[in-house]
Amino acid sequence: MPEERHHKVIILGSGPAGYTAAIYTARASLKPVVIQGMQPGGQLTITTEVDNFPGFEEGVDGPGLMEKLKAQAERFGTEILFDSVLSTDLSQRPFKLTCDSGDVYSCDTLVICTGASARWLGLPSEKELQGFGVSACATCDGFFFRDQEIAVVGGGDAAVEEAIFLTNFASKVYLIHRRDALRAEKIMQDRMAANEKIEPVWDSVVEEILGDPQKGGVNGVRLKNVKSNEVSDLAVTGVFVAIGHTPNTEIFGDALDKDDAGYLITKPDSTATNIEGVFAAGDVQDKIYRQAVTAAGSGCMAALEAERFLQATEGEATRI
């Protein structure tokens, strides 16, 4: 039987922003509920080692870090639900959420931490080799490719920025782009052109990522030149896919203000959205920094703002 339940605070998403919001609201005795979403633990669960989250001098594996954040949130009484929200009604308070399981939840305040999903090429080999040389995060995984030859796929600012960043480690970085002109800003293009370690591979798409997860991971990419149709193999040990991110905001329809790329717009120095009582934190509202630690920071902000909102509106909200 589908359930109908009401909570003061519901947090959507279980990445660093969601669990941090949970830790803070739970410590404020608000008994938050986290609805984990399609990818419990968020994007960090698809990376290997995380070396840049403060407090772990030896690094920490992504899934391990998320387990710790989850356990910390539970320790203070957060309820964590393995479910995902299919639709929302934010037209009035309490806000209403309908889940995949059929359960319906209502809440006085909603903290949205649904993140953004890296776009992938959609190749089976890409999926098989994720964490074994295929990554969508240079900041997270670049360090593991010291003195190796690797490839970045994409032609936007992110791809160029990642390629430049990766030259701190790799001996050579091929930038594979499907056209012969970059979408990235001119200044980024100039920086790339000045970097001798980066070699562009124009008019080319990745047909296959070569390698075996059990035998050393990635060892190359199969490329097709879209103009000549020529197919060739390029030896690389890492492939960074940087073809954009999609913020996970479809379930809010047009209720919340979004920018052109679909990211939720929050007020300056705040996580408040255009709807009172709805806050957004982490990658769903941040296309610039996209780091676990910045997501956690904005999760904390959202929790504090949600707490203040509840104090200010106590007694106003009704139950379903």
Which amino acids are annotated catalytic?
A: 137, 140-141
Q: How far is CA 283 from CA 13, 44, 204, in A?
A: 11, 12, 30
First vs last Cα of the chain: how many Å apart? 17
- Residue 224 CA to residue 230 CA, distance in Å, equals 6
Residue 82 or 289 with smaller CB distance to ligand NDP: 289
Using CB under 6 A as the binding rule, whether residue 94 contacts ligand NDP is answered as no
CB of 195 to ligand NDP, least distance (A): 15
Using CB under 6 A as the binding rule, whether residue 179 contacts ligand NDP is answered as yes
Residue 154 or 299 with smaller CB distance to ligand NDP: 154
- Residue 144 CA to residue 130 CA, distance in Å, equals 14
CA 184 to chain centre: 21
Using CB under 6 A as the binding rule, whether residue 156 contacts ligand NDP is answered as yes
**Please, which of residues 200-239 interact with ligand NDP by CB under 6 A?**
none
Using CB under 6 A as the binding rule, whether residue 159 contacts ligand NDP is answered as yes
Residue 77 or 156 with smaller CB distance to ligand NDP: 156
- Residue with smallest beta-carbon separation from ligand NDP: 156
Instruction: Of 51, 23, 42, 225, give the one whose Cα is nearest residue 138.
Output: 51
| Angle of the 16-27 helix axis to the 292-313 helix axis, nearest 10 | 40
Instruction: Of 40, 5, 10, 8, give the one whose Cα is nearest residue 22.
Output: 10
Using CB under 6 A as the binding rule, whether residue 197 contacts ligand NDP is answered as no
Residue 57 or 260 with smaller CB distance to ligand NDP: 260
Q: How far is CA 120 from CA 28, 98, 108, 186, 249, in A?
A: 39, 28, 36, 25, 18
- Residue 140 CA to residue 43 CA, distance in Å, equals 11
E-strand spans in 47-203?
A: 49-50, 60-61, 79-81, 85-89, 95-99, 104-112, 116-118, 134-135, 149-153, 172-176, 198-201
Residue 93 or 258 with smaller CB distance to ligand NDP: 258
Among 5, 6, 178, 222, binds ligand NDP (CB under 6 A): 178
Q: Which range, of 87-95, 125-133, 151-159, 298-306, touches ligand NDP by CB under 6 A?
A: 151-159
Residue 159 or 281 with smaller CB distance to ligand NDP: 159
* Token pair in block for residue 196: 């001798």
Using CB under 6 A as the binding rule, whether residue 155 contacts ligand NDP is answered as yes
Using CB under 6 A as the binding rule, whether residue 305 contacts ligand NDP is answered as no
CB of 48 to ligand NDP, least distance (A): 21
CB of 248 to ligand NDP, least distance (A): 15
Q: Is 69 helix (H, G, I), strand (E, B) or coil?
A: helix
Q: Which range, of 55-63, 156-164, 191-199, 213-221, touches ligand NDP by CB under 6 A?
A: 156-164
CB of 287 to ligand NDP, least distance (A): 5
Residues that bind ligand NDP (CB under 6 A): 121, 153-159, 161, 178-179, 183, 243-245, 287
